[in-house]
Structure 1
């Protein structure tokens, strides 16, 4: 599934470019995402999403596969697996920064997404509808972060040093799960809500059946 979005931010292109290259600063701007540790050029964390009552948390990693400062373009490969389930997700994200003025910047984001598991079964058709709205939230958060006078020190919030294995933990607040139905709005909720509810009930029954089977065993 490929999605293309554009956002505009009231900040200079150089500031936006610097933020996109500083994962510790930019990760909290993405709804549902949390950076937990860094090892070399590998960034690890979690992303929380849900469709109505069905929750999923993906634990994974992200790495830069390309950084072109002249073109102001980065390519990021992100991969994650459900912590409680068999689903997984991977995305190749290409972000291009373009100056529209001294303090106005456009960012084009192309995402090639692959996702499996219970959230994919319920919310696959919702993802294209909500991606633009999530990017709008991201843009607002990014703009607020860049305009904050203390943002220059944001990357130093975690003073923890790397352990013997080279892993450095990052202290960051736990994010709220992004509800795809809620973000999509009433039309999508009306269309997909009953289906999501039915699948959620079946999923709960399946879980209860497994528990009873284990007790009998």
Structure 2
């Protein structure tokens, strides 16, 4: 499944870039996300999501594959017997009139029970 999210951050692009790469600072903004360890390239942690009537905690790692004006990260999580999730995320930041436009493209693959809820429910969670 392909997802796209757009937002603006009310600061110049250099400030937004530094803030968005501050994993310990950003993680609390993502509902259900917990960072256990971060070594400037690899993040180990979990994310708890509700898909339909099921709440699942995915534990795993995310790795920054590239950092420049396009940040890429790939993550893999496995919630025990409920299924798996794998995502490749590409974020692009561009400055527009003193604010930063952020575009995030996510390629998401979900298997197991959560996949049975269909694209509509999964895209809302994404």
Q: Which residue number corresponds to residue 74 of structure 2?
A: 77
Cα distance change on mapping 1:64 and 1:4 into 2, 3 Å: same
Q: Which runs of 4+ in 1 moved over 2 A?
A: 38-41, 127-131
Which structure's residues are more often helix, by fraction?
1
The runs of 5 or more residues in structure 1 that have no matched partner are 132-217
Q: What is the deviation of 1:76?
A: 0.4
Structure 2 matches for 1:80-119, cutoff 5 A?
80-83=77-80, 85-102=81-98, 104-119=99-114
Task: Give, in whole Å, the separation in 2 of the partners of 1:128 and 1:50.
Answer: 12
Task: Give, in whole Å, the separation in 2 of the partners of 1:51 and 1:41.
Answer: 29
TM-score (norm. length: structure 1): 0.54
Q: Which structure has the larger Rg?
A: 1
Task: Give, in whole Å, the separation in 1 of the partners of 2:52 and 2:124.
Answer: 16
